[in-house]
Chains A and B, each alone.
Chain A
């Protein structure tokens, strides 16, 4: 849905994007990154609000910012700021947003009613929007972003400041929009939001892409099939290249030594060992345990949390760490 090729963008005080090349796929995509990673600058370039210093930006096939007017007619945008059109009530906000995108007055009203129903603001549609609560304003902004039926929606921190029910409601709406076939680029600091609704992840770090790919590959281990605990006869399946956690009963050191002898990387933590099965075959573990007279109490795939994955991808992208590690 969007392609950036060698995009570099610098401001007077800082460099926001450092020659990034990324193809953002269709679907619900999470845009992650710490503060200062360049997420807002990326949004501005995708909306044609800024020119890239070098490189090209294409959104829905439209070169930006040259074809920004055409592209924006097919894009919905919900800004992070608490932005509203001053002086308008709920339905007028959505009607105005739709009319700015080219709907005529009648269609804009019909569509505004639909969108306010969708986001649960039908009761408040004739109230002044300035009197809405934060959660209501967020939902109103989502309705405004969706009113003209965009093919692609940019959502900048849509759950910021929401309480847990409000967040759940917003995520449900985003998932609903994604299911209806509208692509979504969701920028957020809340990793749980991305985990809950996104199919793909784009991680920015210091103006570069730290990770681009499906959600299943973002967390180490999350792309592998879950493995049942042992206790059944025979050797259970394991995942190639993934880390596994094994809880042992007996001589843990002897098991670890046998595994190392079989070229299997091992970390020991009390009665627990962590092994990486490069071939996906856990037979060496079973053999080592049998030779050492130890029992396997639990054998499972190690799955990384979102926060750990986020930090790991940031570190992988950290040039100072690479230099330090060399």
Chain B
């Protein structure tokens, strides 16, 4: 028992228990980062981000089915399903960008402001693991925001089209089609979320202030949309100026993955347009990763004070 009135009766004792592996520590890091993302003042926004698209999808699906479901010729049902999913993917991509700008992108800047990087790196945490943890948590959140409502819609379409007796076209009814649709939704959501997360975190490095990161991200995305519109005004709607639109480009992976079915509505122009949009995102993400990697080699941890 301590002699001091300030020290609690139990006193201090050393810890002699075991420790977990480095991979498990990375898992713990991701879980804390992911929990952090759905907390605080932005919790409401987060739930809105899930609830509103889900509501939109439901309303859209119900309306669309009531009006047109049985009017779609059997041969076009596959294309119809993919077009519907693609349309909602575009809407959800906008939500994903909002999530990124408001929640994911400022996390690194918040750690900088709170001095948390020093707390991480003075413990046995590799700098690259910290970065991986942030990217994985952000990707999981954003891909859930994009993909979960879409998977729900795909399920509705499967029930409405694929499982209706005699109502499905040859492709939509094939055993391969629907699993591939679910896989495509998942992969396209993850690609969109991963690319936008990496770019968003780089915004943290550039802005350094959590309040300014959404602004930087917004300027980047809206700037690209504006440039795309100007380009389309000059060169026409079906010009490659569309590829500059980062919101449009976020759906590119979906377009590329589903083109093999939706040949009627995706001519080569659309394919190339999507490839260019995805390429632009990939380039931005690569530059962002290099920026993050360089930043992590010597992050500001209060050096110079004594």
Are A and B subunits of one complex? yes
Which residue numbers of A lie inside 8 Å of B, CB to CB?
11, 16, 33, 35-41, 44, 47, 49-50, 68-70, 72-73, 75, 77, 79-88, 96-97, 99-105, 107, 111, 114, 117-120, 144, 146-149, 151, 168-169, 172-173, 175-177, 180-182
Chain A residues near B29 (CB-CB < 8 A): 100
B302 interface residue per 8 A CB criterion: yes
Q: Which residue of A lies closest to B303 (CB)?
A: A44
Q: Which of A40, A97, A176 contacts B11 (CB 8 A)?
A: A176
On chain B, the residues within 8 Å of A77 by CB distance are: 122-123
- The answer for the CA separation of A173 and B2 in the assembled complex, in Å, is 10
Cα distance A49–B124 in the bound complex, in angstroms: 11
Contact between A81 and B118 (Cβ–Cβ < 8 Å)?
yes
- With beta carbons under 8 angstroms apart, the residue of B12, B24, B36 that contacts A177 is B12
Cα(A147)–Cα(B303), bound, Å: 25
Q: Select one of A44, A87, A117, A148 contacting B10, CB under 8 A.
A: A117
Pairwise interchain contact A102-B20, C-beta atoms closer than 8 A: yes
Instruction: Report Cα–Cα, A83/B122, bound state, in Å.
Output: 12
When distances are taken between beta carbons in the complex, the residues of chain A under 8 Å from B7 are: 118, 172-173, 176
A170 to B239, CA, bound (A): 68
Beyond A100-B25, A100-B125, A102-B20, whether A180 also contacts B306 by CB under 8 A is no
Minimum CB–CB distance from A40 to chain B (whole Å) comes to 5
B8 A117 Cβ-Cβ under 8 A = yes
Contact partner of B16 (CB less than 8 A), chosen from A44, A69, A118, A149, is A149
Interface string of B1-30 (1 = CB under 8 A from A): 010111110111111111110001100110
A146 to B123, CA, bound (A): 12
**B111 near A101: Cβ-Cβ < 8 Å:** no
- In the bound complex, CA of A41 to CA of B305 (Å): 8
B15 touches A47 (CB 8 A): no
Asked if B6 and A120 sit within 8 Å, CB to CB, the answer is yes
**Which residues of the other chain, A, contact B25 by a CB distance below 8 angstroms?**
99-100, 102
A173 touches B6 (CB 8 A): yes
Quick check: B20 and A72 within 8 Å, CB to CB? no
- B32–A96 CB distance below 8 A: yes
Residues on the B chain within 8 Å of A175, using CB: 4
Q: Which chain B residues lie closer than 8 Å to A44 at the CB level?
A: 301, 303
Q: List 24 A-B contacts (CB under 8 A).
A: A11-B303, A11-B304, A16-B306, A37-B306, A40-B302, A41-B306, A49-B122, A50-B303, A69-B126, A73-B124, A80-B305, A84-B115, A85-B32, A86-B36, A88-B36, A96-B32, A100-B25, A102-B20, A102-B124, A103-B17, A144-B119, A146-B12, A149-B16, A175-B4
Q: How far is the CA of A82 from the CA of B115 in the complex (A)?
A: 7
Cβ of B114 and Cβ of A86 under 8 Å apart?
A: yes
B120 within 8 A of A: yes
- In the assembled complex, how far is the CB of residue A50 from the closest CB belonging to chain B, in whole angstroms? 7
Assess the A101–B13 pair: CB atoms within 8 A.
Answer: no
A83 touches B6 (CB 8 A): no
Alpha-carbon distance between A44 and B306 when the two chains are bound, in angstroms: 11
B40 at the interface (CB under 8 A from A): yes
Min Cβ gap A77→B in Å is: 4
Inside 8 A of B123's CB, which chain A residues have their CB?
A: 72, 77, 97, 100-101
Identify the closest chain A residue to B16 (Cβ).
A149
Contact A118 B301, beta carbon cutoff 8 Å: no
What's the minimum C-beta distance from A114 to chain B, rounded to whole angstroms? 7
Say whether B128 faces chain A, with CB atoms less than 8 Å apart: no
Q: Which residues of A contact B301 (CB under 8 A)?
A: 44, 49
Q: Which of B8, B15, B121, B303 contacts A118 (CB 8 A)?
A: B8
| 8 A Cβ contacts from B174-200 to A | none
Q: CB-CB < 8 A to A72: which residues of B?
A: 122-124
- CB neighbours (8 Å) of A35 from chain B are 306
Which chain B residues numbered 263 to 306 have a C-beta less than 8 Å away from chain A?
A: 301-306
Among B16, B19, B24, point to the contact of A73 (Cβ < 8 A).
B19
Are A149 and B6 in contact, with the CB atoms below 8 A? no
Q: Of all chain B residues, which has the CB nearest A207?
A: B306
CB within 8 Å for A38 and B306 given contacts A72-B124, A83-B116, A176-B12: yes
